[in-house]
Structure 1
Amino acid sequence: MDTLMTNQRPLWKDQFWENPWDQGGLAVISLFIIVVLLLMSFATVFGALPTPEKANRFEES
């Protein structure tokens, strides 16, 4: 009975990686998530920086 349980591999894992459309969909979803995270990080960084008008005002004082 133990040999039957140890030799079984999930069939869906093998079938998933054999289909190129599934791999492409995974790549597209991954790229979308990466782009969204990059845009959020740019918005955070550039939103925290002072505008040039405010930066020049402090130098004139």
Structure 2
Amino acid sequence: MDMDTLITKQKHLWNDEFWENPWDQGSLAVIGLFITMTLFLILFATIFGVCSPLERRNQYEES
């Protein structure tokens, strides 16, 4: 058995073990949700930070 075959077989076994463990799947889902929520909040803050309310704009123009 050559080294490449052994490494490929070991990676395949580890990959199968990872997806069979529900705790690993759950942690991957939580990490994905955290990243998605963080990006959403950054987008939300950027949009509403740039688009200030109309009343405020009028106040700045009058003074």
After TM superposition, the score normalised by the length of structure 1 is 0.73
Mark the runs of 5 or more structure 1 residues left unpaired by the alignment: none
Percent sequence identity is: 55
Structure 2 segments unaligned to the other structure (5+ residues):
none
C-alpha RMSD of the superposition: 2.2
In 1: Cα distance, 2:24 partner to 2:33 partner: 14
2:19 aligned residue: 17
Q: Corresponding residue for 2:42?
A: 40
Secondary structure of 1:32 counterpart: helix
Paired residues in the alignment total 58
Distance in structure 1 (CA, Å) of the matches to 2:4 and 2:53: 65
Displacement after TM superposition at 1:9 (Å)? 5.0
